[in-house]
Structure 1
Amino acid sequence: MLRHVQEGNVVRQFDKIAEVQSDKATVEITSRFDGIIKKLHYEKGATAKVGQPLVDIDVEGDVKEDGKGDGRIAMPAAKLAEKQISNPVRNIEVLKHPPVENLTIKAMPGVRHFAKTNGVDIGKVRPSGKSGQITKEDVQKSMNVAIRANVDAAEYELVPLNAFQKAMERSMKAALNIPHFGFHDEILLNRLSGLRTSLLPSIELRYGVKVTVMSFFIKALSLALTDYPVLNSHFDEPNHSLKHYRAHNIGVAVDTAHGLAVPVIKNVQDLSVIEVARELSRLTEAARENRLSQTELGGGTITLSNIGSIGGTTASPIIVAPQVCIVAVGRTQVLPRFDENMQVTANKVMPISWSADHRVIDGATVARFSARWRNILEDTSTLLLHLY
């Protein structure tokens, strides 16, 4: 508190009595009466209590000729509100929320217009500018507080997380500690699409399984891992080491009505494309019927997500710790590309997005691994050798 008067000073209405700083602003307290300062209830710099008298004033009508007051004791604060005041000593109180008319609101015309346009009472805005100036940002913050209050007050239903969502929560918390390295590329699927179209009827008739394009992606990923085993690892952070796995246990993200499930196709390195297709079909059906076991959900060494089945192109996939790599394939589109003769041709282009744990995997390794996977899918001859 900063005091502007001393005991015995003569004051007029609207003369400054003191400056009081609340949690919202510094407020000037002015006299509501003509008279003489009878008593100061607080020393300069002291903390004034909310609702307690600040000063006592003898009104001029009761001032003696020698200029001193009559020495009457101040009445309780409640009496001050009465129209007929029997005691001439007046109390100036420290108000928790001073009336707006007693404050000097500092705000530029543009800020006042902004507040008025958005229905904000500028007298209730907490200033942050120099010398108590209200800024446009202060008005915006006041609006945001009101919006949050409305949202909090809205009706809602509390829905507990299901098992898939709880698992996703745990995985994402673990992923927060992983510095993700992102890499994007594209794969031309003209040959693979033609191969699948020509072989699909006979395979389905003979083996009773529909070979989806994802089956080729999964097998090709396993073939690429043979050349880059470091991507088929778990990071053992406490021991500062990588666990290189012989088995290619590839997790496949599946969108279900229950949430995101990631069943794992085990030992893909030992499976043919047709066997991968059969296992993928079984696990996908089990995921959508919520019948996956813990064994079918665990043990993954790398993950493949098909965001393109929903409609996306590129993504920023989140690594499933302690794995060190994940790839997301986007929606295949027919786009113009130059062929080897520099002629523009229509191509089936699939975007791919990688994320790797940059603590243990460098960007060059991811780029080379991606190129190897792309070559296997674009050439198709290697896949033909592993079809049956």
Structure 2
Amino acid sequence: MGTYSFKLPDIGEGIAEAEIVAWHVSVGDVVEEDAPIADVMTDKATVEMTAPVAGKIVKIAGEAGEMIAIGSILAVFETEGDEAPASEPAPAVQTAPNEAAQVVKPDPVPEPVAEAKPEPVAEARSEAAPPASAGHARVLASPAVRQRARDLGIDLSHVKTAEGGRVRHADLDAFLSYNSGGGYRPAGGKRADEAIKVIGMRRRIAENMAASKRTIPHFTYVEEIDVTKLEDLRADLNATRGAKPKLTMLPLLITAICKTLPDFPMINARYDDEAGIINRSGAVHLGMAAQTDAGLMVPVIRDAQDRNVWQLATEITRLAEAARAGKAKSEELSGSTLTITSLGPLGGIATTPVINRPEVAIIGPNKIVERPAFDKDGNIVAAKLMNLSISCDHRVVDGWDAASFVQALKRLIETPALLFVD
């Protein structure tokens, strides 16, 4: 028998360390070559590490949520034969981009250590988790996920994953969240208490939002906008669209935003705290907040000002689907100059969205409601009304500028013919 020490490879992003997000194996597991053993997260992506050799796991480095230095030992395998193979890192397979790059980089982490932490790890395995080398069909999940699902009374076969992949803690979280009002309850009718470790993407989100609120003096301005004519225009465009994509309200709102921004360059900007520089952007790289099973992600519509409503609709659909499937590229998740966030059918009367740092503003359209209103002649008519919120960085954007921007935007939305006039 020999041993093989698998070291965390250089993932190629110029990083010194990565976070262990999840283990797919435990000490004592027998795995085949190329079987998934762990997920690690960098600032840009979650990467699945696979076994470089077949063998028995005799040691793993650290628990989920801990940082591990590039080049330090991730796992030790016991292999067949007297001589151990050369200890070369296996290639990593990118599986799920995270949202750290497009929101806020986390606070600096401690200097990496040369070796993984040597604390002992539990060797006991859950009886619910057969060895990774088992040949029968089953739902893929780590022993920890299986144990948690069993404690909660969840049938793993009912849990949705990205393209039928391995069930992770985030998938269980999403299952619990989306079924909380749909009749799901664990055995006995009462949900079990949980202590969920904040790791991976959820930790990135927590760090990013905390940094944004901690460093940016937010203020929010809300205005009511009559979107009756814009909704009529949207219906007409969809009725004659042919093979073009169906329009939602979002492409039309983005078109209005892009036409308004040139007169308000301080809105379409990024603030470099360390250098004390405001970088105004000539192009509109619009971040589009999208909720996924793994958490909030913000794919970016590049050069939105150069796209017509049909092109915007196509790009919105493509980016949203890529984000939800975990296939968005890192360059599609960074570099936004302004973000729009909408709760869609959940609506809401008004929102106070958190700025996508280092941007200086974020726009939040709210739900459309039909209510009686007065027309210009004093007659009562049915109107479709929507509140629009904008949160701004008060270090860069004054209240007058934010209000003026929204009023200019309102004029375009309420007179939609102006959207197509140069």
Q: Report sequence identity in percent.
A: 32
1:158 is the counterpart of 2:196: yes
CA distance in 1: counterparts of 2:421 and 2:254, whole angstroms: 15
CA distance in 2: counterparts of 1:193 and 1:249, whole angstroms: 25
Residue 167 to residue 382, structure 1, CA distance change in 2 (3 Å): farther
Counterpart in 2 of 1:168? 205
Counterpart in 1 of 2:273? 237
1:201 is the counterpart of 2:219: no
Q: Higher helix share goes to which structure?
A: 1
Deviation at 1:169, TM superposition (A): 2.0
> Could you tell me which amino acid in structure 1 is paired with residue 333 of structure 2?
L
1:247-280 superposed Cα distances (whole Å, 9 cap, x missing partner):
1011111122221111110101111111111100
1:299 is the counterpart of 2:335: yes
1:225 is the counterpart of 2:248: no
Residue 285 to residue 174, structure 1, CA distance change in 2 (3 Å): same
Which of the residues 320, 339, 343 maps onto 2:356?
320
> Could you tell me which amino acid in structure 2 is paired with residue 237 of structure 1?
D
> Could you tell me which amino acid in structure 2 is paired with residue 254 of structure 1?
A
> Could you tell me which amino acid in structure 2 is paired with residue 279 of structure 1?
E
1:147-183 superposed Cα distances (whole Å, 9 cap, x missing partner):
xxxxxxx8535355343x2332232122121111110
CA distance in 2: counterparts of 1:357 and 1:289, whole angstroms: 32
CA distance in 2: counterparts of 1:359 and 1:172, whole angstroms: 18
1:302-361 superposed Cα distances (whole Å, 9 cap, x missing partner):
111112432322111101111000111111101122110111211100111111000111
Do the aligned partners of 2:347 and 2:368 also contact (CA within 8 Å) in 1? no
Do the aligned partners of 1:308 and 1:332 also contact (CA within 8 Å) in 2? no
1:11-48 superposed Cα distances (whole Å, 9 cap, x missing partner):
xxxxxxxxxxxxxxxxxxxxxxxxxxxxxxxxxxxxxx
CA distance in 2: counterparts of 1:252 and 1:305, whole angstroms: 6
1:1-388 to 2 correspondence within 5 Å?
156-163=194-201, 165-175=202-212, 176-203=214-241, 205-207=242-244, 209-385=245-421
Greater Rg over alpha carbons, structure: 1
CA distance in 1: counterparts of 2:421 and 2:197, whole angstroms: 50
> Could you tell me which amino acid in structure 2 is paired with residue 333 of structure 1?
V
TM-score normalised to structure 1 length: 0.57
1:73-128 superposed Cα distances (whole Å, 9 cap, x missing partner):
xxxxxxxxxxxxxxxxxxxxxxxxxxxxxxxxxxxxxxxxxxxxxxxxxxxxxxxx
For structure 2, list consecutive stretches of 5 or more residues without a partner in the other structure: 1-191
1:218-266 superposed Cα distances (whole Å, 9 cap, x missing partner):
1111111111111110112223221011110111111222211111101
TM-score normalised to structure 2 length: 0.52
For structure 1, list consecutive stretches of 5 or more residues without a partner in the other structure: 1-153
* Stretches of 4+ aligned residues off by more than 4 angstroms: none
Do the aligned partners of 1:313 and 1:329 also contact (CA within 8 Å) in 2? no
Counterpart in 1 of 2:62? none
CA distance in 2: counterparts of 1:282 and 1:258, whole angstroms: 18
